[in-house]
Amino acid sequence: MSKPTLFTLFSPRLLDIYDVSNSIVVIIDVFRATSTIATALHNGALKIIPVDSVEKCIAIGNATPKSITAGERDGKIIEGLAHGNSPAEYPRSFIEGKTLVLTTTNGTKLLHMALKNGADEVITGSFPNLSAVCNHLIAQKKNVILGCSAWKDRINLEDTLFAGAVIHRIKEHFTIHCDSSLMAEQMYQLHKEDMKSFIRLTTHWHRLAAYGLEKDLEYCVTADAANVLPVYKSGALIAQA
């Protein structure tokens, strides 16, 4: 039996090139949406509703019992919302049993695009849930698209590195004819031992470190700190049992 295929896309702009209809799409937004999603679910959040606008966030928050609205712009909590985008804001003592309505731009956009294009399944991944993602992809034996959310469609390194980390672990199980995947894995191999210093060279680090988020960003590249599998079902991400 032939192995399933694996492709990596470096920007949402490239999604249309690939056939997602028979694939699991992994949404990757390392700084920080998919790191925060894994963390909140790992700490017992009931579910996470990703939304692409502040208005929707407030409306859904108002309509949902025990919900928390969250979102940032330029490192500050958006007016009208209650919390920010940092994984550190969602310990078990705070988030357990609650619904997090999370406003993000890049990750949510790609997630909705993948659903619209008919993805077979949508999950989210970042270093904190690296093993959960890898184990699921190996077990499912389906085609995989590793979708980097990028930043305003610009390719970024942190999402690429996570794609590379996944490929490094699961490549024997897939047929991979994809230069982006080859590049991602080589970048990961080159930097897996110096990840926390290397990410300081990325454009996104410079953008976010200006807001004092260095500890956050280091957490976001820490493998298996929140090892749960977020799966999108009926409008929300829930932890797969």
Residues that bind a copy of itself (CB under 8 A): 10-11, 13-14, 17, 152-157, 160, 177-180, 182-183, 186-187, 190, 201-204, 206
Closest distance of CB 162 from a copy of itself, Å: 13
Closest distance of CB 203 from a copy of itself, Å: 5
Q: Omega before 13 cis (within 30°)?
A: no
Nearer to a copy of itself, 8 or 69 (CB): 8
Distant-in-sequence, close-in-space partners of 67: CB < 8 Å, separation ≥ 6? 60, 61, 98, 99, 100, 101
Distance from chain centroid for Cα 171: 20
Token pair recorded at residue 1:
């039996």
Backbone angles phi, psi at 101, to 5 degrees: -100, 110
Buried b (16+ CB within 10 A) or exposed e, 199-228: beebebbeebbeeebeebbebbbeeebbeb
Distant-in-sequence, close-in-space partners of 54: CB < 8 Å, separation ≥ 6? 71, 78, 80, 81, 103
Closest distance of CB 142 from a copy of itself, Å: 21
Token pair recorded at residue 173:
């199980």
Closest distance of CB 6 from a copy of itself, Å: 13
Nearer to a copy of itself, 14 or 115 (CB): 14
Nearer to a copy of itself, 46 or 165 (CB): 165
d(CA 153, CA 165): 21
Closest distance of CB 235 from a copy of itself, Å: 29
Largest CA distance in the chain: 54
Is residue 33 within 8 A of residue 104, CB to CB? The reply is yes
Closest distance of CB 121 from a copy of itself, Å: 23
Nearer to a copy of itself, 115 or 183 (CB): 183
Nearer to a copy of itself, 116 or 154 (CB): 154
Nearer to a copy of itself, 217 or 225 (CB): 217
Token pair recorded at residue 124:
């989210």
